[in-house]
Amino acid sequence: MLGPLGCGVQTGAGAVINTLHPQAGSSIAVFACGTVGMSAILAAVVCGCGTIIAVGGMSDHVHIVARLPANVCVADFVRTVKSNSSKKTNEHVTGMKFGWQRGYGAFSVSQSALSAVVQYVRNQEQHHRHRSFQDELKILLTKHGIDYDERYLH
């Protein structure tokens, strides 16, 4: 087991440190957060990247774990992600028009819980074998005492 883990760490961290050469305060996005992706995220932290994004999702939703600098508000971040990804998808995928829903949910995460949250994002396919996105969101909102309107969960 250590061989694949070592390879994943070298590949993920190496890609960030030796290929991207990020400057302190720069942004990085990592899609799919297996061993390689997690190692890339850790290397981005070591390099001092300001915005670090881990992305995982399903066909009907996406989870993004991001570290935002103090001067970037969540609404601006989400707007940028949605507009840029829609534009790029529609430029490169023919036969369909991609678009995002109007709303979004955002939750803050403590540093001590970050690893668990990234692991959760990493295992979306496994989670949704047993629970739909809507049920998952309702449980999360209820657990944290957040009121919600059913009309906005579809």
Nearest CA to 19 out of 8, 10, 6 is that of: 10
pLDDT of res. 3: 45
- Number of domains observed in the structure of the chain: 1
Q: Is residue 153 part of a domain?
A: no
Q: Is residue 17 part of a domain?
A: yes
Nearest CA to 116 out of 105, 128, 103, 107 is that of: 107
Q: In a 3-state reduction of DSSP, which class is residue 4?
A: helix
pLDDT of res. 91: 78
Range of the domain at 138: 2-93+102-148
pLDDT of res. 86: 79
pTM for the structure as a whole: 0.62
Q: Is residue 106 part of a domain?
A: yes
Per-residue pLDDT tens digits of the chain, which is 154 residues long: 444 445 655 677 777 777 778 788 887 777 665 667 667 777 777 788 777 776 666 666 777 888 888 888 899 988 888 887 778 777 776 677 877 788 888 888 888 988 888 888 777 777 778 888 888 889 889 998 999 888 877 6
Q: Is residue 125 part of a domain?
A: yes
pLDDT of res. 2: 43
Q: Is residue 64 part of a domain?
A: yes
Is there a contact between 40 and 12 (Cβ–Cβ < 8 Å)? yes
Q: Is residue 123 part of a domain?
A: yes
pLDDT of res. 4: 47
Q: Is residue 86 part of a domain?
A: yes
